[in-house]
């Protein structure tokens, strides 16, 4: 089926645009113009072989279903007017006609006035009859007559011809995914051959010397190839048929050979990686040799995802996704899925977007379309989208994220309270049973483990104590873990509660100074002495914490006005502090005892923090909250917390 021929000018791509970064919209427009309209490849398939295929054309019913007026019950075909006066104390007698209409039997006798014909469920209504009475509502009088004691309305227990589907009525529309239901509908209409879209064969290639396939041993400095697997699966989820060609080293000849073969054998090629400065020129050169018109755009004003490269070679799309897994997924879902679905004759994915409210302001770079990973939780009135893992290229940030939202290139922020459209990675929202928003602690995993094993989904979003309290006040979470010291009263947490929140004690955790075991500058000192010694030694480098962290308040107390070397290194977690000291990038920092112990570092206790839970009273009755509270109080959890180095309250 050819829609039209190629649009004019698609082979005359202006060379200058290669040097220009295009906006997302301009890049999409040029890519689509270079690919569509295009011939849709259709095949006729036997009905039984169409499961999971996409219907390529609208299908209209060739017959009426049912094809005749049909009885819905076992009983007698009658003329309803004969029974108009029938009642419990005024039975009407009807003479039985000389035939029984079974399923598949065409009637031969008309139903004349004052007669009835026995009929089975599914039998065709004979001429003259306009209703059926159920056998249960009649009484036999000998063998040739029945007595009826209730009236029948015209059409009673009759399915009229074409009442399911009328001849010529649209049965299924092009673009429908064929499932068992659709197969049943087609069968009911007698359709044995179905026009389906030929699946789009997509070659998936990873590039990079550092890539190792899952299942193989990880060499030093190597990483597992996650893009290959995730891109291939996402292609299959969107009507494509992915063929993984493996990871190719950063070698121009090898890469070109693979891309040439992949292009010849596929309808589309999706490569990831190799987009950084020097490597980008290599792929650029290869694509120029793959076929016309070549590169449509190289560099799109996206954040992240700027190195995205879109090309068309021999009329097939060739896409180079950024190497960072999250960037690869943002650009794939946002810009490649629509192209793939259109090639596969699938309609735009309506089930892959939801609207959600953004609870906090999200800053954004002006001039670039920005993608922000979000976690979805149930709010008081609709879904809430929490930004998570912003700017991180880590594949692990997918575990707490449901999808992403897009901030327009012309906006420098998305204000708190905005309604945003969220593109889901997997098209069903899994709103968690328990939502924890606040300060993160490794002890939390020990409390939520039994919930997860019991089948409850837990979402924990680390935004710090104050952020958690704000979320709890807005009713966006079930509980907020907090560790806030009130300077005036010298007490933890309680002074920060407001109406609607109640404090459930969690555990105590010792904050202290960490240093490499055996470092004589710190061994045997108190925390105050250790910090004084560190400040006095100009070769001593510290690692700080981010502003707003409970730990930072303690560090500031010890430092006073001093700003030693390393002060501006401000990671956001206890573990990052321990890693900096363990790896020799810093000599001292402050972290919690269990983390210091896990990293085998020297530890000087400083202050015991109270890590408690601000529980939203209105949500306390929820089963998942109850499960959390009983897990917290259980012997097993308390023992697990203790052996990890915490002191349960
Ligand atoms: P590149 O575009 O090749 O410069 O890659 C950018 C970053 O993404 C580097 O940190 C790569 O190691 C990483 N990367 C590239 N390809 C993959 C892949 N297939 N799986 C996981 N990470 C990748
Ligand atoms: Mg690379």
Average pLDDT, the chain: 92
5 pLDDT above the threshold of 50: no
Atom of ligand 1 nearest to the CA of 247: 19
Atom of ligand 1 nearest to the CA of 250: 3
- Output the pLDDT for position 462: 80
- Alpha carbon of 326 to ligand 1 centroid (Å): 10
Say if ligand 1 is within 6 A of residue 394 CB.
no
CATH no. for 353-424: 2.40.340.10
Say if ligand 1 is within 6 A of residue 283 CB.
no
Give the rounded percent of residues in the chain with a pLDDT score beyond 70: 95
The neighbour count for residue 395, using CB atoms within 10 Å, is: 17
pLDDT tens profile 519-569: 999 999 999 999 999 999 999 999 999 887 788 989 999 999 999 999 999
Residue 283: Cβ-neighbour burial (10 angstroms; 0-12, 13-18, 19+): buried
Rounded to an integer, the average pLDDT of 21-32 is 96
Rounded to an integer, the average pLDDT of 180-207 is 96
Which string of DSSP letters, residue by residue, matches 427-468?
SS----SEEEEE---THHHHHHHHHHHTT--EEEEE--HHHH
pLDDT tens profile 136-167: 999 999 999 999 999 999 999 999 999 999 99
Rounded to 10°, the helix 527-536/550-559 angle is 60
431 pLDDT above the threshold of 90: no
Choice among 278-287, 430-439, 516-525 with the minimum mean pLDDT: 278-287
- Alpha carbon of 25 to ligand 1 centroid (Å): 25
Atom of ligand 1 nearest to the CA of 276: 4
The pLDDT confidence band at residue 388, using thresholds 50, 70 and 90, is confident
Say if ligand 1 is within 6 A of residue 274 CB.
yes
Say if ligand 1 is within 6 A of residue 204 CB.
no
Choice among 267-276, 412-421, 492-501, 562-571 with the minimum mean pLDDT: 267-276
Say if ligand 1 is within 6 A of residue 317 CB.
no
Cα 184 to the center of its chain, rounded Å? 30
- Alpha carbon of 273 to ligand 1 centroid (Å): 5
Say if ligand 1 is within 6 A of residue 210 CB.
yes
Rounded to an integer, the average pLDDT of 407-413 is 95
The contacts of residue 549 (CB under 8 Å, 6+ apart) are 464, 572
Say if ligand 1 is within 6 A of residue 227 CB.
yes
Q: What span, in angstroms and rounded, lies between the C-alpha atoms of 145 and 127?
A: 19
Phi, psi of 295 (to 5 degrees): -70, 130
- Alpha carbon of 249 to ligand 2 centroid (Å): 8
- Output the pLDDT for position 625: 97
Rounded to an integer, the average pLDDT of 473-499 is 92
pLDDT tens profile 74-117: 999 999 999 999 999 999 999 999 999 999 999 999 999 999 99
Q: What span, in angstroms and rounded, lies between the C-alpha atoms of 533 and 539?
A: 11
Q: Which ligand is nearest to the CA of 228?
A: 1
Q: Whose CA is nearest to atom 4 of ligand 1?
A: 276
Q: Which ligand is nearest to the CA of 223?
A: 1
The pLDDT confidence band at residue 278, using thresholds 50, 70 and 90, is low
pLDDT tens profile 354-367: 999 999 899 999 99
Say if ligand 1 is within 6 A of residue 223 CB.
yes
Two domains, one topology: 353-424 and 431-649: no
> How many Cα atoms sit within 13 Å of 332 on the Cβ side?
31
Ligand 1 pocket mutation pick from 250, 323, 330 by most atoms within 8 angstroms of CB: 323
CATH no. for 70-159: 2.170.190.11
All structural domains of the chain with their residue ranges? 14-38+198-343, 44-64+164-197, 70-159, 353-424, 431-649
Of 263, 252, 320, which is closest to residue 292 (Cα–Cα)?
263
The pLDDT confidence band at residue 1, using thresholds 50, 70 and 90, is very low
Higher pLDDT, 397 or 34: 34
Higher pLDDT, 20 or 266: 266
Choice among 100-104, 260-264, 280-284, 555-559 with the minimum mean pLDDT: 280-284
Atom of ligand 1 nearest to the CA of 275: 2
With beta carbons less than 8 A apart as the criterion, state whether 31 and 339 touch: yes
The pLDDT confidence band at residue 620, using thresholds 50, 70 and 90, is very high
Radius of gyration, alpha carbons of the chain? 35
The reply to whether CATH 3.40.980.10 applies to domain 14-38+198-343 is yes
DSSP code at position 125: P
Q: Which ligand is nearest to the CA of 249?
A: 2
14 pLDDT above the threshold of 50: no
Say if ligand 1 is within 6 A of residue 305 CB.
no
8 pLDDT above the threshold of 50: no
- Output the pLDDT for position 232: 97
The pLDDT confidence band at residue 279, using thresholds 50, 70 and 90, is low
Q: Indicate the pairing of strand 588-592 with strand 542-543.
A: parallel
Give the rounded percent of residues in the chain with a pLDDT score beyond 90: 81
Structure tokens at 311: 């090309």
Q: Which ligand is nearest to the CA of 396?
A: 1
Choice among 339-343, 418-422, 483-487, 624-628 with the minimum mean pLDDT: 483-487
Rounded to 10°, the helix 443-453/635-643 angle is 140
pLDDT tens profile 197-251: 999 999 999 999 999 999 999 998 899 999 999 999 999 999 899 999 999 999 9
The reply to whether CATH 3.90.105.10 applies to domain 44-64+164-197 is yes
- Output the pLDDT for position 467: 87
- Output the pLDDT for position 395: 57
Rounded to an integer, the average pLDDT of 252-279 is 91
Fold of 431-649: D-Maltodextrin-Binding Protein; domain 2 (3.40.190)
Ligand 1 pocket mutation pick from 233, 273, 284 by most atoms within 8 angstroms of CB: 273
């Amino acid at each position: 089926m050819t829609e039209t021929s190629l649009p004019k000018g698609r082979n005359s791509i202006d060379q200058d645009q290669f040097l220009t970064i295009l906006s997302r919209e301009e890049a999409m427009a040029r890519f689509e113009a270079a690919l569509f309209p295009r011939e849709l490849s259709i095949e006729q398939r036997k009905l039984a072989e169409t499961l999971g295929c996409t219907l390529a054309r609208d299908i209209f019913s060739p017959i009426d279903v049912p094809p005749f007026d049909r009885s819905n019950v076992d009983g007698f075909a009658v003329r309803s007017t004969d029974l108009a006066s029938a009642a419990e104390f005024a039975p009407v007698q009807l003479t039985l006609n000389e035939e029984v209409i079974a399923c598949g039997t065409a009637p031969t006798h008309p139903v004349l006035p004052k007669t009835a014909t026995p009929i089975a469920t599914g039998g065709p209504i004979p001429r003259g009859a306009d209703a059926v009475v159920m056998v249960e509502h009649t009484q036999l009088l000998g063998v040739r007559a029945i007595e009826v004691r209730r009236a029948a309305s015209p059409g009673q227990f009759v399915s009229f011809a074409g009442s399911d589907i009328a001849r010529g009525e649209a049965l299924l529309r092009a673009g429908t995914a064929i499932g068992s239901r659709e197969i049943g509908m087609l069968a009911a209409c007698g359709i044995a051959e179905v026009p389906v879209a030929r699946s789009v064969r997509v070659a998936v290639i990873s590039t990079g010397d550092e890539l190792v396939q899952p299942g193989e041993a990880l060499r030093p400095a190597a990483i597992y190839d996650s893009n290959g697997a995730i891109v291939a699966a996402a292609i299959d989820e969107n009507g494509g048929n992915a063929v993984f060609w493996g990871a190719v080293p950063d070698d121009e000849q090898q890469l070109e050979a693979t891309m040439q073969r992949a292009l010849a054998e596929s309808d589309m090629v999706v490569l990831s990686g190799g987009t950084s400065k020097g490597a980008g020129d290599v792929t650029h050169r290869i694509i120029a040799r793959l076929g016309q018109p070549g590169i449509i755009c190289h560099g799109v004003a996206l954040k992240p995802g700027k190195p995205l490269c879109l090309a068309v070679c021999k009329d097939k799309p060739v896409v180079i996704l950024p190497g960072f897994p999250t960037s690869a997924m943002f650009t794939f879902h946002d810009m490649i899925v629509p192209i793939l679905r259109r090639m596969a004759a699938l309609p735009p994915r309506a089930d892959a977007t939801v609207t959600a409210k953004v609870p906090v302001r999200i800053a954004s770079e002006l001039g670039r379309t920005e993608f922000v990973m979000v976690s979805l939780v149930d709010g008081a009135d609709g879904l809430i989208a929490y930004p998570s893992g912003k700017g991180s290229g880590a594949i692990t940030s997918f575990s707490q994220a449901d999808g992403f939202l897009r901030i327009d290139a012309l906006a420098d922020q998305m204000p708190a309270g905005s309604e945003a459209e969220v593109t889901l990675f997997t098209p069903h929202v899994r709103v968690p049973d328990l939502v924890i928003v606040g300060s993160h602690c490794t002890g939390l995993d020990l409390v939520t483990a039994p919930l997860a094993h019991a089948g409850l989904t837990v979402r924990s979003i680390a935004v710090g104590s104050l952020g958690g309290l704000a979320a709890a006040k807005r009713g966006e979470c079930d509980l907020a873990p907090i560790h806030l010291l009130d300077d005036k009263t010298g007490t933890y947490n309680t002074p920060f509660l407001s109406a609607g929140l109640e404090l459930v004690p969690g555990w105590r955790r010792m904050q202290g100074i960490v240093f490499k075991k055996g470092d004589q500058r710190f061994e045997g000192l108190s925390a105050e002495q250790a910090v004084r010694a560190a400040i006095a030694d100009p070769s001593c480098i510290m690692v700080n914490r981010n502003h707003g962290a409970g730990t930072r308040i303690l560090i500031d107390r010890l430092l006073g006005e001093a700003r030693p070397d390393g002060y501006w290194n401000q990671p956001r977690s206890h573990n990052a502090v321990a890693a900096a000291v363990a790896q020799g990038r810093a000599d001292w920092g402050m972290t919690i005892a269990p983390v210091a112990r896990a990293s085998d570092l020297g530890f000087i206790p400083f202050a015991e923090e109270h890590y408690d839970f601000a529980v939203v009273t209105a949500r306390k009755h929820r089963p998942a909250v109850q499960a959390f509270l009983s897990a917290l109080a259980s012997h097993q959890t308390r023992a697990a917390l203790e052996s990890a180095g915490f002191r349960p309250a």
